[in-house]
Structure 1
Amino acid sequence: MLLAIFSDIHANRQAFSACLESARTRGAQRIIFLGDFVGYGGDPEWTVDTAIRLIADGAVAVRGNHDQAVTSASESMNPDAQAAIEWTRGRLSAAQRRFLAELPLTLEEDDRLYVHSEASSPQRWRYVQSTPDAARSLIATPAHVTFCGHIHRPALYSMSATAKMTSFVPTAHVPIQLLRGRQWLAVLGSVGQPRDGDPAAAYALYDTSSREITYCRVPYDVDAAAARIRENGLPDRLADRLFVGR
């Protein structure tokens, strides 16, 4: 089965739509969401409604820290992110907020684990920024492949049976086989707010039969996404950063 894996959509309707279209064109058979449907962007209602509809059709999803922040005052963020969360909280219906609150922190499916941040302590929202961070996550699960997001920068790590680690930044659109005999941590880039210097939306395809992962980039209408942020009175920085992928 060909999975399309999305993380950190962040209420960016234009980027989300472009990635959905790309995944359909490339033959994706199932969608996996790694959380952070909301925050930063200007279309939280549409994004959550679209996710609900896709999950009813067979997609699966886990909760991200921005999803939790909308439904829990205990989550604190930087001022720009907090402003977006407070605005988003007022835009979503009770049913939409309940959907986000009830998403699980992790999901296991065959030899795969889905989580927003990392596997060792999902509720702490730690970032995978280094090989030691990746090792901590891999040690915490027997899964052959763990898929996560949260950091908005794509990366791929692996650990051998003797705990030897590898890490690299994958090249977009080049398939990589995740060999047996190693555990893998696939860190996805962000659909709605990339931070690796490339403004194109990011998602991944994973073939469960061949065990190949392909990191994908999709151009989208950044001007329209930025305009939605500004016209809703959200901080200008949230719009400006979309153009530079930072």
Structure 2
Amino acid sequence: MVNFVIMRRYEDTYKQKGLRRQLVDSIRQKGITDENVLAAIGNIPRHFFLDTAFESIAYEDRAFPIGEGQTISQPYTVAYQSQLLEIKPYEKVLEIGTGSAYQACVLAELKANVFTIERQKKLFELVKQFQFKSKYPNLRFFYGDGYEGLSSYAPFDKILVTAAAPQIPEKLLQQLKIGGKMVIPVGGQDVQRMLRITKVSDTEFDQELFDNFTFVPMLAGKR
């Protein structure tokens, strides 16, 4: 497991930019078609979000540990969820599970106004010290329980959950705007189904089913 004290290097070389272009090509071949999402993945130095021990493999399309039992998601998964959200500039987006902040920065790169919650105090404190986040004034970080959302900032145009929920959290549905969408992986520990839920009215929701994924579990409370 990676130590909480993560060593970072903020240098983006021609080699790393080239590896990012290859990564973008690979996730395009896997079915990602939203060019804005692909451009966001291409613009963000993923190695900035990882310990220097992972620098040489940062652009492999897989998850890596970031400490506290959490991971930075596979780039394809980040792109997949971002594409399902159908982000428009200046929409208000709630992200549940900041983790490394990579997904949050992808949303911010798409020009969303991002509110992201992390329940792990150590990861939250680490992200607060992360220099790269200063690039995005449209990105705000909160320490709290993802199941509770951020009612004082609701309603949200979009909600993204980046952990496996055993069921759809009712409080998050309440914090969606009418016409808003939530993307969330729902299921047991081994595999989850990606869902996109559209709020039709205060009491009606449309639900679409997509592919299976494996995420770390969504836990209640904060620590």
Q: Assess same fold via TM > 0.5.
A: no
Normalised by the length of structure 2, the TM-score is 0.38
Q: Which has the higher contact order (CA 8 A, sep 6+)?
A: 1
TM-score, normalised by the number of residues in structure 1: 0.35
